[in-house]
């Protein structure tokens, strides 16, 4: 299995508070991705990174920001959490974006 961890694994927070999710990899892969998964929507890309300090928006980036200061870490921040951001968040990595991505275990976020 690819060495990907996510933290925290579960989080409950209140509307309006900032939240940061962390994805950490030990594979030295260049590409890292943040997805959210909601019933009826499948996996939707939030942001991705193609290198240190190189990031770009995905399909559902509003309300989220990311940072990648080291190859191994990709952070997702909800600046001011809303109930619509209640979801399961997956991080994924790949050496080549045209090939398979390897997924982390997911973070379950509940915004009250």
Partner 1 sequence: EDKVVQSPLSLVVHEGDTVTLNCSYEVTNFRSLLWYKQEKKAPTFLFMLTSSGIEKKSGRLSSILDKKELFSILNITATQTGDSAVYLCAVPNNAGNMLTFGGGTRLMVKP
Binding site for partner 1 (CB under 8 A): 31, 33, 40-45, 48, 50, 56, 58, 90, 97-106
Closer of 48 and 64 to partner 1 (Cβ): 48
* Min dist. Cβ of residue 101 to partner 1 (A): 6
Closer of 85 and 107 to partner 1 (Cβ): 107
User: How long, in residues, is the chain?
Assistant: 112
* Min dist. Cβ of residue 28 to partner 1 (A): 18
Closer of 43 and 75 to partner 1 (Cβ): 43
* Min dist. Cβ of residue 13 to partner 1 (A): 22
Q: Which two tokens stand for residue 47?
A: 């942001």
């Amino acid at each position: 299995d690819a060495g990907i961890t996510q933290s925290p694994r579960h989080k409950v927070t209140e509307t309006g508070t900032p939240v940061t999710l962390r994805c950490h990899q030990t594979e030295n892969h260049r590409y890292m991705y943040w997805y959210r998964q909601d019933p009826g929507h499948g996996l939707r890309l939030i942001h991705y990174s193609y290198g240190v300090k190189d990031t770009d928006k995905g399909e559902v980036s509003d309300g989220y920001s990311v940072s990648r200061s080291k190859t191994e870490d990709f952070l997702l921040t909800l600046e001011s959490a809303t109930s619509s951001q209640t979801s399961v968040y997956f991080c994924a990595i790949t050496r080549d974006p045209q090939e398979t991505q390897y997924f982390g275990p997911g973070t379950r976020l509940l915004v009250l």
